[in-house]
Homo-oligomer: A and B are copies of this chain.
Amino acid sequence: MLIIGERINSSRTSIAQAISAQDVQFIQDEAKAQADAGADYIDVNAGTFIKDECEKLKWVADTVQAATDLPLCIDSPDPDVIRTLLERVEKTPMINSITLEPARLEGILPLVAEHGTKVIGLCQSESEMAESKDDKMRLAEQLVKHVTDAGVPLDDLYIDPLVYPLATNTESALATLSAIKGIMKEFPGVHTTCGLTNVSYGLPNRKLVNQTFLISAITQGLDSAIMDPTNKRLYGALKAALMVMGQDDFCMNYVGAFREERLE
Residues of chain A at the chain B interface (Cβ within 8 Å): 166-167, 170-171, 173-174, 177, 199, 203-205, 208-209, 211-213, 215-216, 219-220, 236-237, 240-241, 243-246, 248-251, 254-255, 258, 263-264
Q: A203-B255, A219-B177, A263-B205 are in contact. Are A248 and B212 (CB under 8 A)?
A: no
Inter-chain contact A167/B216, CB cutoff 8 Å = no
Given A212-B241, A212-B243, 10 new contacts (CB under 8 A) = A167-B251, A170-B251, A174-B245, A203-B251, A209-B243, A212-B237, A215-B216, A215-B219, A216-B241, A216-B244
Write the nearest CB–CB distance from A133 to chain B, whole angstroms.
11
Give Cα A205 to B259, complex, Å: 11
**Residues from chain B with Cβ under 8 Å of A171 in the complex:** 246
Inter-chain contact A170/B254, CB cutoff 8 Å = no
Write the nearest CB–CB distance from A158 to chain B, whole angstroms.
21
Q: A255-B203, A258-B204, A258-B205 are in contact. Are A249 and B212 (CB under 8 A)?
A: no
Write the nearest CB–CB distance from A253 to chain B, whole angstroms.
11
- From B166, B170, B209, B243, A166 is in contact (CB under 8 Å) with B243
Inter-chain contact A248/B170, CB cutoff 8 Å = yes
Inter-chain contact B240/A208, CB cutoff 8 Å = yes
**Residues from chain B with Cβ under 8 Å of A205 in the complex:** 236, 258, 263
Residue on B with the closest CB to A240? B212
Inter-chain contact A199/B244, CB cutoff 8 Å = yes
Give Cα A22 to B243, complex, Å: 42
Inter-chain contact A173/B208, CB cutoff 8 Å = no
Residue on B with the closest CB to A181? B219
Inter-chain contact A254/B216, CB cutoff 8 Å = no
Which residue, A171, A219, A245, has most C-beta atoms of chain B within 10 A? Answer: A219
Give Cα A248 to B174, complex, Å: 11
Give Cα A93 to B138, complex, Å: 48
- From B174, B208, B219, A263 is in contact (CB under 8 Å) with B208
Inter-chain contact A255/B216, CB cutoff 8 Å = no
Write the nearest CB–CB distance from A171 to chain B, whole angstroms.
5
24 pairs from A and B in contact (CB 8 Å cutoff): A166-B243, A170-B243, A170-B251, A173-B244, A173-B246, A177-B219, A177-B244, A177-B245, A203-B254, A203-B255, A204-B263, A205-B258, A205-B263, A208-B237, A208-B240, A208-B263, A209-B254, A212-B215, A212-B241, A215-B215, A215-B219, A216-B244, A216-B245, A219-B220
Inter-chain contact B251/A166, CB cutoff 8 Å = yes
